[in-house]
Amino acid sequence: MLPSRISASTSAPTATATSPASASSSYQRRALGSLLGALVWLWMRTLRVRLVFPVTANDRAWVLCFFHGKQVPLFAWARRRNTVALVSHSKDGDLQAASLRVLGIGVVRGSSSRGGAEGLRALIHSVKAGSDAAMAVDGPRGPLHEVKGGSLTLARAANAHVVPVGTATSNSIRISAWDEMRLPLPFSKVAIVFSEPIEADGVSPSVLRELIVAANERAEKLVA
């Protein structure tokens, strides 16, 4: 957090007040997010999960890399260790952060437009401390399936492995337009494919994209 700027007049810095209405709205978003998280947790318990795990898994931290719209089945996976995710500072981010915490995922606040560098530093710190990180690699606003460099930067800085991830579900409904997010229907089959961990050095965004596409294609075959 940046220090407050002090003017030449030696007056003490003035704290920014938060209105009661704003505080109440923030509380309501967090409460709604927690409720949604609990509903998703129950929903995920109904799914029949098929998991494909890497043969060469080891103790190094992972940066789980997937496309937007493909993350919902991942909530049905009992994660191998503490996992953190980057969530924006927006009002929608408040709701999402509360939901993720209920689902057992650590939250780092930041985005590519506001607080991005701070968020990335916090992610690096968490991964160096032993957490895995989960990242939608096509950025907060797309274009869909166009891999940005953030996940590779994180993996290199934290000496973590990159793990391309694909998911698929046998029955689902589409709930989002731009990222084609689909919500698995209760009691559906879902497949989660974790590709082999790879070193980030020497891996380009285009190569990472191909590996994620391949993982998704393999997952689709498993639920066909």
Q: Using CB atoms within 10 A of its CB, is residue 205 exposed (0-12), middle (13-18) or buried (19+)?
A: middle
Quote the pTM value: 0.85
pLDDT of residue 112: 54
Contact between residue 189 and residue 169 where contact means Cβ atoms under 8 Å apart:
yes
CA distance 166 to 115: 28
CA-nearest of 72, 91, 86, 77 to 32 is 91
What are φ and ψ of residue 153, in 5° steps? -60, -45
Residue 126, SS3? helix
pLDDT of residue 9: 35
The domain limits of the chain are 47-223
What are φ and ψ of residue 185, in 5° steps? -75, 155
Q: pLDDT 10s per residue in the chain (224 long)?
A: 333 332 333 334 444 455 666 667 888 999 999 999 999 999 999 999 999 999 887 889 999 999 999 999 999 998 889 999 999 888 888 999 999 999 999 999 886 555 567 888 999 999 999 999 999 999 777 789 999 999 999 999 999 999 999 999 999 999 877 888 889 999 999 999 999 999 999 899 999 999 999 999 999 999 99
Contact between residue 159 and residue 125 where contact means Cβ atoms under 8 Å apart:
no
Containing H/E element for 84? strand 83-87
What are φ and ψ of residue 80, in 5° steps? -75, -20
Which residue type occupies 211?
L
Residue found under tokens 């927006």 = 90
